[in-house]
């Protein structure tokens, strides 16, 4: 049987690849740290090879216990979490989790944090020569225990200092992840760019709290937690919009993305890529749906290269 010839424009698939800090991603979609474990947890449900990149749970120098339970609770169109950054520690990660991740045909971005500047620097240094680690994402939403617990990312001088220090200890592409819990995010964005960040990702969770009215206790053992999910998306889009106007490094948009339409908002305001977090819990296939939806959107709109869409917000 003769093959039916479709017109050129409908057969050609849009180019979906983007580049961030020298990392070549086959599409702009990756998981958000802490919502995708170390990758293997979701392997039964999703082909990890189709992802733009893989982002791991946040790692610290030593294993971290995390908070008491309850650690999570659902809120309107979102959830609060106070996991407390429980993780296996950087050395165990390299030994036990990297071998699996290395087999995946997608760049592995390792998220990390510390409670002191030195800890941040040491984790970055230990990851520097680990083969298979394509890039680092530095979570600066952590309290600085040597400075009264003030969160690094809420103090632009502390943020500048810690990013500068890490910059000296790593040759890998360095993405700095910003906290939204600040008065003016443009100030922190400028500070971390100036300190040598190759890219910026945002947003981490918004601090929040919920109360069980019957017991009159906080719903989280930690009292305060981080809000994520669809509820935070408009806030995240606004913050990404503000940051892309302020910096020249590429930006990764995060916050409440569950469908392609959500991801498109971030790309249009100027994010080069996006991360999907809480939506993975709701639908383990969420990222595949976002990727397919983005491609379909480009096709429908006659966009040949997804890069032509980035930062096209109309005034």
Partner 1 sequence: MKNYKTIILSNQEIAPHYYRMRILAPDYHKMASPGQFIMFRVQRALPPLLRRPFGIFRIGCLPADCDGMPAKEYIEIIYKVVGSGTEIMQELHEGDRIELLGPLGRGFELGDPAEEKILVGGGIGLVPLFMLAEELVKSSRVRLLMGGRTREDIIAVTEFERLGVETYVSTEDGSLGEAGLVTQVLERKLMKYPQAAVFACGPMPMIDAVQKICAEHKTPLQVSLEALMACGVGACLGCVVKGAGHSDAEPRYLCTCKHGPVFRAEQLDWTRLDETESECGGCK
Ligand X SMILES: Cc1cc2nc3c(=O)[nH]c(=O)nc-3n(C[C@H](O)[C@H](O)[C@H](O)COP(=O)(O)O)c2cc1C
The number of beta carbons lying within 10 Å of the beta carbon of residue 175 is: 27
Query: Is 228 one of the binding residues for ligand X (CB under 6 A)?
Result: yes
C-beta of residue 172 within 8 angstroms of C-beta of residue 136: yes
The number of beta carbons lying within 10 Å of the beta carbon of residue 265 is: 21
DSSP string across 131-180: TTEEEEEEE--SEEGGGTTEEGGGSHHHHHHHHHHHHHH--S-EEEEPPS
Of residues 14 and 48, the one with the C-beta less far from ligand X: 48
Query: Is 205 one of the binding residues for ligand X (CB under 6 A)?
Result: yes
Smallest separation, CB 26 to partner 1 (Å): 22
Among 54, 123, 257, 263, binds ligand X (CB under 6 A): 257
Query: Is 288 one of the binding residues for partner 1 (CB under 8 A)?
Result: no
- Angle of CA points 118, 121, 123, to nearest 5°: 110
Q: Residue 309 gets which letter from DSSP? A: T
Of residues 58 and 180, the one with the C-beta less far from partner 1: 58
Query: Is 195 one of the binding residues for ligand X (CB under 6 A)?
Result: no
Among 47, 74, 102, 304, binds partner 1 (CB under 8 A): 74
Smallest separation, CB 207 to ligand X (Å): 12
What angle, rounded to 10 degrees, do the helices at 156-169 and 185-194 form?
A: 30
Whole-number Å distance between alpha carbons of 192 and 282: 33
Pick the stretch among 189-197, 277-285, 291-299, 302-310 that binds ligand X (CB under 6 A): 277-285
C-beta of residue 243 within 8 angstroms of C-beta of residue 255: no
Query: Is 42 one of the binding residues for partner 1 (CB under 8 A)?
Result: yes
Of residues 107 and 256, the one with the C-beta less far from ligand X: 256
Closest CA to 111 of 37, 212, 213, 164: 37
Query: Is 255 one of the binding residues for ligand X (CB under 6 A)?
Result: yes
Cis preceding-peptide flag for 313 (omega within 30 of 0)? no
Cis preceding-peptide flag for 203 (omega within 30 of 0)? yes
DSSP β-ladder status, 108-112 and 133-139: parallel
x/- track of binding to partner 1 for residues 207-246 (CB under 8 A): ----------x---x-------xx----------------
Query: Is 33 one of the binding residues for ligand X (CB under 6 A)?
Result: yes
Query: Is 114 one of the binding residues for partner 1 (CB under 8 A)?
Result: no
Question: Is 142 in the active site?
Answer: yes
x/- track of binding to ligand X for residues 113-152 (CB under 6 A): --------------------------x-------------
User: Where do contacts with partner 1 occur on this chain (CB under 8 A)?
Assistant: 34-37, 41-42, 44-45, 57, 63-66, 68-74, 76-79, 81, 83, 86, 217, 221, 229-230, 278, 280-285
Residues taking part in catalysis: 142
């Amino acid at each position: 049987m003769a093959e039916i010839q479709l017109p050129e424009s409908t057969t050609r698939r849009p180019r979906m690849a983007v580049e961030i800090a020298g990392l070549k991603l086959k599409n702009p979609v990756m998981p958000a740290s802490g919502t995708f474990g170390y990758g293997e947890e979701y392997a039964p449900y999703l082909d990890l090879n189709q992802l733009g990149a893989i982002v791991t749970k946040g790692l610290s120098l030593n294993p971290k216990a995390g908070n008491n339970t309850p650690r999570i609770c659902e809120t309107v169109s979102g959830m609060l979490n106070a996991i407390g950054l429980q993780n296996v520690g950087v050395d165990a990660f390299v030994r036990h989790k990297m071998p699996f991740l290395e087999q995946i045909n997608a760049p592995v971005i390792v998220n990390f944090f510390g409670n002191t500047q030195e800890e941040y620097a040491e984790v970055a240094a230990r990851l520097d020569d680990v083969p298979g680690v394509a890039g680092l994402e530095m979570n600066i939403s952590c309290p600085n225990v040597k400075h009264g617990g003030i969160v690094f990312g809420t103090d632009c001088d502390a943020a500048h200092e810690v990013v500068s220090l890490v910059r000296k200890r790593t040759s890998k592409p360095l993405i700095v992840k910003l906290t939204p819990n600040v008065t003016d995010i443009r100030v922190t964005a400028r500070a971390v760019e100036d300190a040598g960040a190759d890219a910026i990702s945002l947003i981490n969770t918004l601090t929040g709290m919920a109360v069980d009215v019957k017991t009159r206790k906080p719903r989280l053992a930690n009292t305060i937690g981080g809000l994520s999910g669809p509820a935070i998306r408009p806030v995240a889009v606004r913050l990404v919009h503000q940051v892309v106007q302020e910096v020249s490094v590429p930006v990764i948009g995060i916050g409440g993305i569950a469908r392609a339409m959500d991801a498109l908002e971030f790309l249009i305001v100027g994010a080069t890529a996006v991360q999907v977090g809480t939506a993975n819990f709701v639908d383990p296939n969420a990222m595949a749906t976002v990727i397919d939806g983005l491609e379909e959107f480009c096709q429908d709109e006659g966009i040949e290269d997804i890069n032509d869409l980035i930062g096209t917000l109309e005034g």
